[in-house]
Homo-oligomer: A and B are copies of this chain.
Amino acid sequence: MAKKSKYDAALERLQILLVETQHWTIDQGRKTVIVFEGRDSAGKDGAIKRITEYMSPRQTRIVALPKPSERETSQWYFQRYVPHLPADGETVLFNRSWYNRAGVEPVMGFCKPEQHAQFLADAPSFERILSDDGIVLIKLWLDISKAEQARRLAERIEDPLKRFKVSPLDAEAQARWEDYSKARDRMLEETDHNHAPWTVVATDDKKIARLNIIRHILRSVGGPGAAAEAPDPEVVFPASKSKGRLAP
C-alpha cells in the first residue's frame, strides 16, 4: 500500500507539471510530436493514458492508425500520418507510427526488404523537414525483456477486460523475438539523428517506466517542464548509449 501511494503521489506531481507545461506550449504556440514505439505489451497504451489523463482534450491528440486501406497502401508511405501532425500549440502522441516499416512490417513480411531500406533512408529526411518547421519530435523506444513480455501476453489472455488487446500477432512477438531485436537495432542505428534522436526506456517495471517517461518528456518540451526531476539514467537513456543495455 505504502509503495502504491508513493507512485500515485509521484505520478500526480508529474501530471500537474504536464498540465502547467502544456499551458506554456499552448501559450507559446509550440508543436510537439511524441512517437511511442516498442514491442507488443511494452506499455505504450498505459504510458499514453497517464500522460494525457489531464491534458487539454482540445490541444492533445492520440493517433493510433488502423491497418492502411488498399488505397493508402498505394500512396506515399508517410501520407497517412501527415494529416495528424500538430498545429500551433498542439501535442500529438503517436501510438506506433511510421516506424511500423522498421519493425512489424519487415519482420512479418508485410513490406519488401527494399521498402524497409528505403524507409530507413527516408525517415531522417522526413523528420528533419518537420524539425525545420519547428516541430519538437520526441521518439521513445519502450524496451522490454523476453520473459516479461511472455508474462504479460499470457496474463492478457486470461483477463476478460483485455480481450480487445489480444491480437493474432501476439504469438509472433515471442516466436520472432530475435528478428524484432535485429530490426530494432537497425532502426536505432540508422534513424537516430540530432534533430530527432531516439530515447530508450526500460519498461519491465511499468510504474517506474511511466514516471521516467514523463520526466523525460517534460524536460524535452521545456518551459515549466524543465524543472522536472531528471529521469533515472538506468531507465531512460539515449539510443547512442544503449549498447549492451537493450533486451537481447
Contact = CB atoms under 8 A, between A and B. Distances in A.
A83 to B, nearest CB: 6
Interface stretch (A34-42, A157-165, A228-236): A157-165
5 contacts: A31-B74, A79-B85, A83-B83, A122-B129, A125-B128
A151 interface: no
Interface string A118-138: 100110011011101101000
A75 B79 contact: no
Interface in A99-114: none
A20 B118 CA distance: 32
Interface residues of A, number: 48
A64 B85 CA distance: 19
Interface in A57-97: 57-58, 64, 66, 69, 71-72, 74-79, 82-83, 85-89
A55 B132 CA distance: 38
Interface of A: 12, 15-16, 19-20, 22-23, 29, 31, 54-58, 64, 66, 69, 71-72, 74-79, 82-83, 85-89, 118, 121-122, 125-126, 128-130, 132-133, 135, 160-164
A71 B129 CA distance: 19
A164 B57 CA distance: 8
B78 A162 contact: no
Contacts of A86: 75
A105 to B, nearest CB: 15
Contacts of A54: 161-164
B19 A78 contact: no
A129 B69 CA distance: 21
A182 B102 CA distance: 43
Contact of A87 (B20, B23, B56, B74): B74
Contacts of A78: 82, 129
Given A15-B161, A71-B87, 5 more contacts: A16-B161, A22-B164, A75-B87, A122-B133, A125-B129
A124 B19 CA distance: 38
Contacts of A29: 74
A133 B135 CA distance: 24
Contact of A164 (B19, B129, B162): B19
Task: Kindly name the residue among A22, A76, A121, A160 whose own CB sees the greatest number of chain B CB atoms within 10 A.
Answer: A76
